[in-house]
């Protein structure tokens, strides 16, 4: 059985603003909760005008308050910018209020350009290695004296009877080894790196996993872009808008909002841009619900995982809602 989850960037659609985008994310989480998806995660991106998702912890609190069952998580908190102690307190607040529903996904990506990274780290005297920050988080959240933290014995409040699920995000070869050694669950970002490196990363994770208070057995997930619609033709049209958004983001030409499929259709791409778009298609599952269901199943087999996280980053909030309805029906979620 394949578990399905959702990652959302809070994209800003044409003729909408950032408040609209955040409210659309709320509706998406509520719909995913109703349809039977396992998790709903939100992202951390800084200084990007086409996405409103900058602070996952704040948005998670709102989403948890407005849903009933679905697990709410961060995809992810970029630890190098923050104090592990402060992150632990934020997640313990959420865990206290919404026990057994909170996922703490952490990563090492900057989440923005060099200027925003510098602004987030202003006046920092030193950088703590990611592995140490993971151990610090585990220590602060559990209070376990056996975990060697920077400030041993420090207690983060509130005191909770449960702990969040701890996930380490990866898009390269080393992520699985780090997650395994620190005893966290591991999610690979196929939507960032579809080269096949993730297969080896998950194999390394499974082979080297050491249980922790957070994760008793090796646990994996793979995240991918998806463009799902009633028909393959409609899905292809929506995917072209995602193609364009990726091209603009990655070439430093971010548009102030997510262009609709109609606006993208008339764009005249250079030969080099067409090549980039073709390569990027390896990051996206495209088609009708039945077609994408098969692609999801193939991806799960390829990576050796039983959970796929879909990033339905297509234009139009109604299109995104309909996409998750379609794939939920195809998988028979309840």
Query: What's the whole-number mean pLDDT along residues 13-39?
Result: 97
Is pLDDT at 144 greater than 70 in this prediction? yes
Query: DSSP labels for 62-94?
Result: HHHHT-SSSEEEES-EEGGGS-HHHHHHHHHHH
Beta strands in the chain (DSSP E): 3-8, 39-42, 71-74, 77-78, 102-107, 165-170, 185-189, 220-229, 284-288, 307-311
Q: β-strand 71-74 against 77-78: which pairing, if any?
A: unpaired
Homologous superfamily in CATH for domain 3-229+283-331:
Luciferase-like domain (3.20.20.30)
- Please give the structure tokens belonging to residue 9: 């960037």
pLDDT at 128: 83
Q: Which single residue is written with the structure tokens 């990611």?
A: 130
Q: C-alpha distances in angstroms, 267 versus 120, 137, 241, 247? A: 36, 47, 10, 12
pLDDT in tens, 255-264: 888 988 888 9
Please say if the pLDDT value at position 36 is more than 80. Answer: yes
Task: Look at residue 333 and give its three-state secondary structure.
Answer: coil
pLDDT 10s digits, 195-209: 999 999 999 999 999
- Residue pair 293/203 in contact (Cβ under 8 Å)? The answer is no
Mean pLDDT across 90-94: 98
Nearest Cα to Cα of residue 189 among 207, 179, 181, 132:
179
To the nearest whole percent, how much of the chain has pLDDT over 90?
Answer: 81
Tokens encoding 124: 């920092």
Residue 266 binned pLDDT confidence (cut-offs 50, 70, 90): confident
Cα separation, 239 vs 193, whole angstroms: 18
For 197-240, the pLDDT digits (tens) are 999 999 999 999 999 989 999 999 999 999 999 999 999 999 99
For residue 318, the tally of other CB atoms under 10 A from its CB is 10
Q: Would the pLDDT of 111 be above 60? A: no
Spatial CA neighbour of 223 closest among 307, 322, 166, 327: 307
Q: Which residues of 57-77 are buried (b: 16+ CB within 10 A; e: fewer)?
A: bebbbbbbeebeebbbbbbbb
Q: Residue 120 has which token pair?
A: 């987030």
Helix (H) or strand (E) holding 199: helix 197-208
User: Residue 121 has what pLDDT?
Assistant: 65
Q: List strand residue ranges (DSSP E) for 241-319, in order.
A: 284-288, 307-311
**Over residues 134-154, mean pLDDT:** 86
Q: Which residues of 245-275 are buried (b: 16+ CB within 10 A; e: fewer)?
A: bbbbeeeeeeeebbbbbeebeeeeeeeebee
The number of angstroms, rounded, from the C-alpha of 87 to the middle of its chain's C-alpha atoms is: 17
Domains of the chain, by residue range, sit at 3-229+283-331
| Burial call 118-149: b when 16+ CB within 10 Å, e when fewer | eebeeeeeeebebeebbbbbbbbbbeeeebeb
Residue 81 pLDDT? 86
Q: Tokens for 55, please give them.
A: 């602070």
Neighbours of 49 (CB within 10 A): 11
Average pLDDT, whole number, for the chain? 93
pLDDT confidence of residue 125: 62
């Amino acid at each position: 059985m394949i578990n399905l989850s959702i990652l959302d960037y809070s994209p800003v659609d044409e003729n909408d603003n950032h408040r609209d985008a955040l409210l659309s994310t709320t509706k998406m989480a509520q719909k995913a909760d109703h349809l039977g998806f396992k998790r709903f995660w939100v992202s951390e991106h800084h200084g990007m005008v086409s996405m409103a998702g900058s602070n996952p912890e704040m948005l998670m609190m709102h989403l948890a308050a407005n849903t009933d069952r679905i697990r709410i998580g961060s995809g992810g908190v970029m630890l190098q910018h923050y104090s592990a102690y402060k992150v632990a307190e934020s997640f313990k607040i959420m865990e206290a209020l919404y026990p057994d529903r909170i996922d703490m996904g952490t990563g090492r990506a900057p989440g923005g350009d060099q200027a925003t990274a510098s602004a987030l780290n202003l006046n920092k005297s030193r950088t703590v290695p990611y592995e140490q920050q993971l151990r610090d988080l585990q220590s602060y959240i559990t209070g376990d004296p056996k975990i060697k933290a920077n400030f041993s014995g420090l207690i983060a409040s509130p005191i909770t009877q449960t702990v969040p699920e701890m996930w380490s995000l990866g898009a390269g070869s080393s992520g699985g080894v780090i997650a395994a050694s620190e005893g966290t669950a591991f999610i690979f970002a196929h939507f960032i790196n579809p080269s096949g490196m993730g297969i080896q990363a998950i194999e390394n994770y499974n082979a080297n996993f050491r249980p922790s208070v957070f994760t008793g057995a090796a646990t994996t997930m793979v995240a991918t872009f998806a463009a799902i619609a009633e028909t393959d033709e409609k899905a292809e049209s929506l995917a072209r808008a995602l193609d364009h958004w990726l091209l603009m983001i990655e070439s430093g030409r971010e548009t102030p909002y997510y262009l609709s499929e109609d606006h993208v259709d008339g764009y005249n791409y250079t030969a080099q841009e067409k090549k980039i778009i073709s390569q990027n298609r390896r990051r996206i599952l495209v088609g009708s619900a039945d077609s994408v269901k098969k692609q999801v199943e193939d991806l799960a087999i390829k990576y050796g995982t039983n959970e796929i996280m879909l990033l339905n980053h297509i234009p139009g909030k109604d299109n995104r809602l309909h996409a998750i309805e379609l794939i939920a029906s195809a998988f028979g979620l309840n």
